[in-house]
Amino acid sequence: MKILHNARCSTSRNVLSTLEENGIEAEVVKYADEKLSFDELKSIIDLIGIEPIELVRKKETIWKEQFAGKELSQDEVIQAMIDIPQLMERPIIIKGNQAIIGRPIERVVEFIR
């Protein structure tokens, strides 16, 4: 199991704790420090089964200032999340060929069973 983790995010920290409490050792990827490649992020989006725009934190000020209202291709949205990792919803939990956005915590508990 792998978790795309942002230590500054309380939800991400809570999910990591939940994994540990359930005896799950997950590979922790600090995606804000170790940027994902385009192909890695595209693959994760495919595993979640969503469109790239659905992974964007649209309430972030930087999204509103730089991207809101613009017609962006899927590739441009992915690249924006790579360039500015804070735009990406987190945490993301990957298990085999499945992945979820780890919100709310109940979704994570169900996913790890």
SS (H, E, C) 76-103: HHHHHHHHCHHHECCCEEEECCEEEECC
- In words, the CATH class of domain 2-112 is alpha beta
| Annotation says 79 is catalytic | no
| Contact assessment for residue 67 and residue 80, using Cβ atoms and an 8 Å cutoff | yes
Average pLDDT over residues 12-25: 95
pLDDT greater than 90 at residue 40: yes
Q: Summarize pLDDT for 55-100 with one digit per residue, the tens.
A: 999 999 999 999 999 999 999 999 999 999 999 999 999 999 999 9
Sort 18 into a burial class: Cβ within 10 Å, 0-12 / 13-18 / 19+: middle
| Contact assessment for residue 79 and residue 68, using Cβ atoms and an 8 Å cutoff | no
1, 8, 9, 48: which one is catalytic? 9
Model pLDDT, residue 113? 87
Residue 44 amino acid letter: I
Q: Which sequence spans correspond to the domains of the chain?
A: 2-112
